[in-house]
Amino acid sequence: MIIAITNVKGGVGKSTLAIHFAYIFSTILDYKRVLLLDADKQASVWTWSQVRTDNESLSVIRCQPLGKQGVRPLLLREREDNDVVIVDVGGEDSTVTRAVAATADIVIIPSQISSMDHSGNKVIIRLAEEAQSYNPDMQTCMVLNRISTTTKEIDEIDELKELYPSWILWPQHMKSGRYAVIHDRVAFRRTTLEGFTVFDQIEEGSSDWKAQYDIAKTLHGVMKLCQYDELADMISNKFIQPFLSTSSKEEIKYIKRYEDI
């Protein structure tokens, strides 16, 4: 399976999603069969992976840069050799972006809720629509990222959906039907600069369980929507069910927003 994470607008959290989704897949699967490819000229993911590799106490996440030549043949080979390939695609309309979209099984479009993001989304949705003529089985998911924790932005999603084609998938929590979103948290910025993920225990008591839950529930929602049920169940068993069985009062209050418990 190839998952492309792309948007022509920068700053929407593509690299952060790529890193954390790769961590989850590397944890539930054999890490040797999960590959993270950096196709962004800023090379944020590749730089992050090098910092992480230098820290022997952290789990391995396989990562390599993706060049500009022979992109589609390379991706097809890597799909044969791996269970999951995640591609962080640069924030621009380029031949690489188009080649990745034309090869991917799932295209994830990270987006914030703002008018500026809508203009960028229209471009990448047009590219995805063009890619479907070459790759008709491709599925496209809109993932709402960096959503404010202090405003009612989440209440605007139904209105936002009306602006987009019906074939765009919007991950939701399976029980409550609420939309899966990833909130804007300091933990994401702090960890990715240092080669960590929000799942790594940097120091005693420092992990951010809300950030962990947001990431895991969103990826679970994507896998369910795209009918990768076995992977969705593995994500739930490893990353979600522990919250439901060992939650504190604060955690239960947060989780109740999404789960019928």
Q: Note whether residue 142 is domain-resident.
A: yes
pLDDT at 260: 42
Q: Note whether residue 261 is domain-resident.
A: no
CATH code, domain with 140: 3.40.50.300
CA distance linking residue 188 with residue 179, whole number of Å: 20
Q: Note whether residue 181 is domain-resident.
A: yes
What φ, ψ does residue 176 adopt, rounded to 5°? -85, -20
Tokens 């099984």, residue located: 105
Give the gyration radius of the chain's Cα atoms: 17
What φ, ψ does residue 143 adopt, rounded to 5°? -115, 120
Task: Give how many domains the chain has, as a whole number.
Answer: 1
pLDDT at 200: 87
CB 14 within 8 A of CB 110: yes
CB 102 within 8 A of CB 72: yes
Q: Note whether residue 128 is domain-resident.
A: yes
Q: Note whether residue 260 is domain-resident.
A: no
Q: Note whether residue 119 is domain-resident.
A: yes
Q: Note whether residue 192 is domain-resident.
A: yes
Q: Note whether residue 31 is domain-resident.
A: yes
Residues of the domain holding 101 = 2-255
| Residues sharing a CB contact under 8 Å with residue 206, sequence separation 6 or more, in sequence order | none
pLDDT, tens digit only, all 261 positions of the chain: 999 999 877 778 899 999 999 999 999 999 899 999 999 888 899 999 999 988 777 888 999 998 878 899 999 999 999 999 999 998 777 889 889 999 999 999 998 877 556 777 888 888 888 888 889 999 999 998 888 876 666 677 877 788 888 888 888 765 666 777 888 888 888 887 788 999 986 554 556 888 898 999 999 999 999 999 999 999 999 988 887 666 666 666 666 655 543
- Provide the whole-model pTM: 0.90
